[in-house]
Amino acid sequence: MTDIAMPGAPRKGSLLVRDARTARRNAAEARFRTYGLIAVLLGLLALVVLVVSIIGNGASAFRQSYVTVPVTLLEEKLDKSGTRDPAVMAKVSTFGYAPLIAAGVQDAMDAAGIEIEGLSTKGAGGIVSKDAPAQLRDFVLSNPGLLGQTVDFTFLASGRIDGYFKGRVTAQTAALDKNVSPEQLLLADALKEAGALETRFNWSFITAPDASDQRPEAAGLGVAILGSFYMMLVVLALALPIGVAASIYLEEFAPKNRITDVIEVNISNLAAVPSIVFGILGLAIFINFAGLPQSAPIVGGLVLTLMTLPRIIIPSRAALQAVPPSIREAALGVGASKMQTVFHHVLPLAAPGILTGLIIGLGQALGETAPLLLIGMVAFVREYPSPPIDGIFDPATALPVQIFNWTQRSDPAFVERASGAIIVLLIFLLIMNLTAILLRRRFERRW
């Protein structure tokens, strides 16, 4: 070794004294940590505000007011001929049933000794949902034998009365509202006192179909949940095999040349294409060209499959890439074929990553709204779709579209419904993400 002078002199100075440079570096680090902490706190704050506002608005959708009234099923009103012929009885429309319910409310008032000035019998009947006559008519048509008797029925209270108990409607607003009067509110209070009106958990919010603008209290998510479920079935059945097969082929078998490069770039591009574009594609190809029915889960599922595919392929390829090459070499070294190597060794190790990608992709598809608007899923559907597989061709809506639909309605009761539906959607998404985490934990293996 020749003598080469080192640049700069040896460091001198006590270790106990911090020099200016070190102090600056430490300050920079402290600043960076603060920024990070602020960013995380802001994110958390936004999440808390979101959750609180959604739950604050929507939790009440799961509770609903019900009125129990004794309804006398008058024979002369409901079956004038007295033949009990269903065809004849069906001629009496819901308008014929409404007065019976009003009379029933009056009877309930009389029984409880409630007297309210300025409230007619018809007005008293107004506290019951407009859905009630249809419910009563269905009951009578299927039980004609009960005609002439008095039966206790539990009906939904009207949206305004329900809103009164949820704080949405007050005596002041009722005075200005032609759908509800302050006297009706007094009656509701009195009935509640007497035990004929109660607020309880509302299963029909989850199971019932949508209802019209005048009956927010009857609107439910049944059709939307079924529609979303059918679409997820279609997406799962198509996107899982196609996505996994494509990623395995591209990652393990495809030659690396210009064509596969172009394919790779385009898969990444597809993941970034706005979802509404897929909606237009679906409208043009699946509905206009292939002639599939509008508003059907099959079309929604196909569109969402297209949208989800790149989002499954990209994480699946990443999972396959993450399998160490030594495992592949080991398998090839004992004479396994390429396919045996992939299916016996690589795929099991990549499975947790693929599953996670799949479930997150499904979760995104479940929450997707825009493409569904274009293929007619934003419809008013009161009929449940049939069971699968036929059901995927029946009209249905989807959860996010139902939320969108309800936010468009004028009655404030639908605001509550929409927030409630968001809670249901978020619960489904939470369950799916939780499943992803659990599956990853369960199948993750070390090597």
Residue numbers of the site for another protein (CB under 8 A)?
Answer: 255-256, 324, 326-337, 340, 344-345, 349, 445-447
For residues 11 and 442, which CB has a smaller minimum distance to another protein in the complex?
A: 442
Please report how close the Cβ of residue 441 comes to another protein at its closest, in angstroms.
16
Q: Which amino acid is at 395?
A: P
Q: Which two tokens stand for residue 215?
A: 């009956």
C-alpha–C-alpha distance, residues 127 and 101, integer Å: 10
For residues 31 and 338, which CB has a smaller minimum distance to another protein in the complex?
A: 338
Please report how close the Cβ of residue 318 comes to another protein at its closest, in angstroms.
19
For residues 178 and 445, which CB has a smaller minimum distance to another protein in the complex?
A: 445
For residues 208 and 323, which CB has a smaller minimum distance to another protein in the complex?
A: 323
For residues 177 and 329, which CB has a smaller minimum distance to another protein in the complex?
A: 329
Please report how close the Cβ of residue 350 comes to another protein at its closest, in angstroms.
12
Q: What backbone torsions phi and psi does residue 102 show, to the nearest 5 degrees?
A: -60, -40
For residues 213 and 329, which CB has a smaller minimum distance to another protein in the complex?
A: 329
C-alpha–C-alpha distance, residues 313 and 245, integer Å: 9
Strand order in the sheet with 197-201: 150-156, 63-72, 197-201
Q: CB of 76 within 8 A of CB of 164?
A: no
For residues 73 and 323, which CB has a smaller minimum distance to another protein in the complex?
A: 323
Please report how close the Cβ of residue 340 comes to another protein at its closest, in angstroms.
6
Residue 155 pairs in a beta bridge with: 67
Q: Which amino acid is at 236?
A: L
Q: CB of 278 within 8 A of CB of 261?
A: no
For residues 324 and 387, which CB has a smaller minimum distance to another protein in the complex?
A: 324
User: Any idea of the CA torsion for 88, 89, 95, 100, to the nearest 10 degrees?
Assistant: 150
Q: CB of 397 within 8 A of CB of 373?
A: no
* Three-class SS state of 152: strand
For residues 343 and 380, which CB has a smaller minimum distance to another protein in the complex?
A: 343
Please report how close the Cβ of residue 436 comes to another protein at its closest, in angstroms.
21
Neighbours of 38 (CB within 10 A): 10
For residues 43 and 324, which CB has a smaller minimum distance to another protein in the complex?
A: 324
Please report how close the Cβ of residue 240 comes to another protein at its closest, in angstroms.
24
Please report how close the Cβ of residue 446 comes to another protein at its closest, in angstroms.
7
Q: CB of 104 within 8 A of CB of 69?
A: yes
What lies within 8 Å, CB to CB, of 304 at 6+ separation is 231, 234, 235, 278, 365, 368, 371
Q: Which amino acid is at 206?
A: I
Please report how close the Cβ of residue 335 comes to another protein at its closest, in angstroms.
4
Please report how close the Cβ of residue 351 comes to another protein at its closest, in angstroms.
12
C-alpha–C-alpha distance, residues 340 and 331, integer Å: 8
Q: CB of 254 within 8 A of CB of 260?
A: yes
Please report how close the Cβ of residue 1 comes to another protein at its closest, in angstroms.
18
Q: What is the DSSP string of 36-59?
A: HHHHHHHHHHHHHHHHHHHHHHHG
Q: CB of 65 within 8 A of CB of 163?
A: no
